[in-house]
């Protein structure tokens, strides 16, 4: 217990993963995802309740030790869509380096067979980033819209090695 107390003073993020259980023992219970995040396989996802531009959303996710979500397959796409509540959410797909050349924020390329564009998208009307609408499809929107939520993604902790 003493070690956790010392670590939590040095690393406040510890409380996100290993909060103190409200009991007489004050024990910590560690979770693979921070409090308020949802786990899917080996990833943790945060679905924001505040709205920002794409760039602000990217910065906010990174400040949490995460990134905007990178969607690699239909199963992951369905999980994220299920938690969007019918709202638009920024994800980490962008063509801001070169118009029409879509890449994930980690620099990886998009799998052409695992793209979920809505009909008529991307329409490349502006220099855009991608938003995930509620119908399980992507649409490209102007990156300076501030009325969009975000979904952040980070690796889940492997508690078997902690």
Domains in the chain, please, with CATH? 35-161 (3.10.100.10)
Residue 19, pLDDT above cutoff 80:
no
Least confident of 18-27, 47-56, 64-73, 104-113: 18-27
Task: Please determine, for residue 10, whether its predicted confidence score (pLDDT) is greater than 60.
Answer: no
Compute the CA torsion angle 111, 77, 53, 153 (nearest 10 deg).
Answer: -90
Task: Report which of residues 86 and 41 the model is more confident about.
Answer: 41
CA distances from 103 to 14, 35, 72, 100, 107 (A): 32, 29, 12, 9, 6
Report which of 44, 111, 118, 140 is spatially closest to residue 83, judged by C-alpha positions.
44
Contact 139, 131 (CB under 8 A): yes
Arithmetic mean of pLDDT, 107-111: 88
**How does DSSP classify residue 2?**
H
- Mean pLDDT to the nearest integer, 96-107: 87
pTM above 0.75, yes or no: yes
């Amino acid at each position: 217990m003493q070690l956790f107390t010392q670590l939590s003073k040095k690393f406040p993020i510890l409380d996100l993963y290993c909060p103190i259980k409200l009991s007489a023992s004050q024990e910590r219970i560690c979770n693979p995802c921070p409090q308020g995040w949802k786990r899917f396989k080996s990833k943790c996802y945060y679905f924001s309740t505040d709205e920002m531009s794409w760039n602000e959303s990217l910065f906010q996710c990174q400040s949490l030790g995460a990134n905007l979500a990178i969607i690699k397959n239909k199963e992951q796409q369905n999980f994220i869509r299920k938690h969007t509540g019918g709202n638009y959410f920024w994800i980490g797909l962008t063509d801001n380096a070169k118009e029409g050349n879509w890449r994930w924020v980690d620099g990886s390329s998009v799998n052409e067979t695992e793209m979920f564009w809505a009909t008529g998208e991307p329409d490349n009307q502006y220099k855009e980033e991608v938003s995930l609408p509620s119908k399980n499809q992507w649409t490209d929107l102007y990156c300076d819209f501030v009325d969009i939520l975000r979904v952040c993604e980070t690796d889940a902790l492997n508690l078997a090695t902690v």
